[in-house]
Each structure stands twice: as structure tokens, then as C-alpha cells.
Chains A and B, each alone.
Chain A
């Protein structure tokens, strides 16, 4: 997304279909990456805790360390299996967010400023949900 100057030289190439194809690739890559990380963490988790008893019948909230992006990354550094799964889930949640962010750039290149604003509104709501809440 940093090489706007290159693409801006030939704005005709930025038709809607091309943007949609890039979005498709972005979504697919995000899902595959997220699934791979979740699978890796899952195998590790089952190898370590597979014989323990599950405790999902009563809600107690996930322990601290699995709730915020910063804590999850910290847990991954310590090779915590649950934190690795959580990182994969975070990547998955980030995939549609990245799609929206890319759309904002694409609309800006198309000089469709009304849709730049509309897209930024969506992005603001997503950011609020992830960080401010």
C-alpha cells in the first residue's frame, strides 16, 4: 500500500474489477494465514492439554493475557499455545479490516472522495470495536 505513486501514474488501470481482484487475493491470503496459525497453535494446545478436562459450561471470561492484541503477542513470544491460537483469530479478525483499509486507498486513487469518507466511517467503527471498547 506504500507504493501509491507508482499506481497513481496510470489511474485508468484502477477500475473496480481490478480492485475487486486485489481484494479477493487479500481476503484469501488472510484466511489461509489465520487458519495456518490457528492450526499450529491448536496442535500444540492439544499436545499439551489434550488430556485435561474442558471447562466451557460456565462462563468465566478468558484469563488476562488473551484479551488484547498486545497481551496476545506477548504470550506468543512465550510460545503459549493458547496465545498462538488467539493470534490466528486476531489475524482473521484483521482480514476484513485490512480489506476496508485497502478500499479506502483504492477509492482515494479513483478520486471518489465521497466513498473515501464512507469507508473511513466503517474503519472508525471497526477500530472503536477493537481498541477503544
Chain B
């Protein structure tokens, strides 16, 4: 397999990953690294570097569309980015010092957990109307558009959400993923922020979080142009395609299929890590 064939196949796989990630809302980043390491036998450090770059591309592309709708909250996003960016730098620094097999095992566990999160029935909650004193001080509350005019909401659970966001940042920097699932968990569940506001603000934050560790990866030589090029272009094209053909009716079955793929990849990553093949 020469570079031309290799690039073509990686671009095709990345296209599929980005497409399914956008369609199911699970993000393409989580399958890019397992695909590269398990299928194409790329060193996991190159895979993480390439994945990070694709995460920035899809997040920024999607955020550009979302911010216009008026759901995302830039104050919540910016405040929590102080946690995710520091976490991302810490995660990237850890990745530089631990063996590839350990990263593979953690990756596998995170895959299993995100599959669990996506299959779990989400607890619905109405908008929290009153902010906690700390959230009040930080002016985190806001409003989002509804057919009946803007709906105001408050924010609570700031310390718990902040801690979870730091964890999301560490995972992003360590594994080269967006960790959108953990970010949404922090905002939706811990801080009681409305779901639509949580998902769009999370998307908004993913690019900044990934950029914080991408700088470190770049300066250490983890971002190789030959591998990052087909991954970034493939995932970006796939996710744009995915958001275009988003048909609600068929998404549920696809979500389960994608979750099953993630579980299988998770076990394989753990197996390869434990046996020292990665």
C-alpha cells in the first residue's frame, strides 16, 4: 500500500466516521483513533494528533451554524473553557509521558462509557429558573428562543460542573477526542442548563479545548501532515454531509448501530492495550 492508496482509504474511513458522528450526534472523533490504530496500524500518537485536528474542524464548522440560532451561551462557554483548556494541556502532557498501551486502555474505557451514556435514557428536566449565588455572580444565566418568545433559565451546580469540565479537558488532551458527551453531562446534568443550550455550547467549546492540546501536540511532532490531511478533510466533509441529510426517523436505529460499533472498538482497544499490541 503506497501513500496514495493509504491516504485515499484513510480519507474514506474518516468520511464515514464524520458522517455517522454527525448523524448520531456522538461525534466522529471517538472512532477516528481506533480506526487508525486498529485498522491502519498507525501509531496511536499520530492518530491522536490527526484526530485532534479533525475535532477542531468539525466543532468550528458546526458552531458556526449553531451560534446563529441563539442557543449557545458564550459566557457559560468562556467561563468553563478556563477548566477545559487547563485540563487539555494537562491531558496532553500526560500523553507525552505514558506508554501507548496505557492510552489505548483508557481510550477503550472511555469508548465503553460513552456508549453507555448514549444508550441511557436521558432524564428530562425543565429549565432551572433561579441561579445559585455563584452562578449569579458569574452572570451565567441566559435565555433561549422558543416559539412563544425567549425563555429565561438559571444555572446551578457550578463547582461540580467545573470539575467535570476539567475532566473533559484532560480526556480531550489525552485521547484526541472532543469529549462532548462529558461536556454535555456537566452542563445538562450537573449545572441543570437546558439540553439544547448544553449541546450547542458544548460544541462551541470543543474547538477551543482541542486547540489547547493541539499546540502541544504540534510542537512535539505528533501532528503529521501526511496522516492529518486525509483525516481532517474526510471527517470535515463527512460531518457536513451528515448534518445535511439528518433525517430524524432513521437516526435511532443508526444510533444503536453506532453505539454497538463503539462498544466493539472499546473492547478491542482494551484488549490490544493489555496484550501490548498497541
Interface residues of A (CB under 8 A from B): 16-17, 19-21, 23-25, 27-28, 30-31, 34-35, 38-39, 41-42, 45-46, 49-54, 56-59, 61-63, 66-68, 82-83, 85-86, 89-90, 92-97, 99-100, 103, 112, 114-115, 118-119, 121-122, 125-126, 128-131, 133
A96 CB, min distance to chain B CBs, angstroms = 4
B residues in contact with A129, CB < 8 Å: 85, 88-89, 92, 211-216
A-B contact pairs, 11 of them (CB 8 A): A27-B67, A28-B60, A51-B2, A54-B6, A61-B220, A82-B226, A95-B207, A96-B208, A125-B89, A129-B211, A133-B215
Contact A24 B63, beta carbon cutoff 8 Å: yes
Query: Considering the complex of A and B, which 9 residue pairs feature the smallest CB-CB distances, nearest first?
Result: A50-B4, A61-B221, A129-B215, A130-B215, A85-B225, A28-B64, A62-B221, A96-B207, A59-B43
A23 vs B213: C-alpha distance in the bound complex, in angstroms? 22
Beyond contacts A25-B64, A59-B43, A59-B46: 18 other A-B pairs, Cβ-Cβ < 8 A, are: A16-B74, A20-B67, A23-B63, A27-B207, A28-B60, A31-B57, A35-B233, A45-B226, A49-B226, A51-B4, A58-B43, A85-B226, A85-B228, A92-B232, A93-B53, A95-B211, A122-B81, A133-B219
Contact A28 B61, beta carbon cutoff 8 Å: yes
Interface residue tally for chain B (C-beta within 8 Å): 64
Contact B42 A56, beta carbon cutoff 8 Å: yes
Whether B151 is near chain A, meaning CB under 8 Å from some CB there, is no
Contact B227 A56, beta carbon cutoff 8 Å: yes
Contact A126 B215, beta carbon cutoff 8 Å: yes
Contact partner of A90 (CB less than 8 A), chosen from B60, B63, B213, B218, is: B218
Contact A125 B85, beta carbon cutoff 8 Å: yes
Contact partner of A56 (CB less than 8 A), chosen from B85, B210, B223, B226, is: B226
State the majority secondary structure of interface residues on A.
helix
State the majority secondary structure of interface residues on B.
helix
Whether B230 is near chain A, meaning CB under 8 Å from some CB there, is yes
B residues in contact with A85, CB < 8 Å: 225-226, 228-229
A92 vs B216: C-alpha distance in the bound complex, in angstroms? 14
Contact A42 B60, beta carbon cutoff 8 Å: no
A residues in contact with B53, CB < 8 Å: 89, 92-93
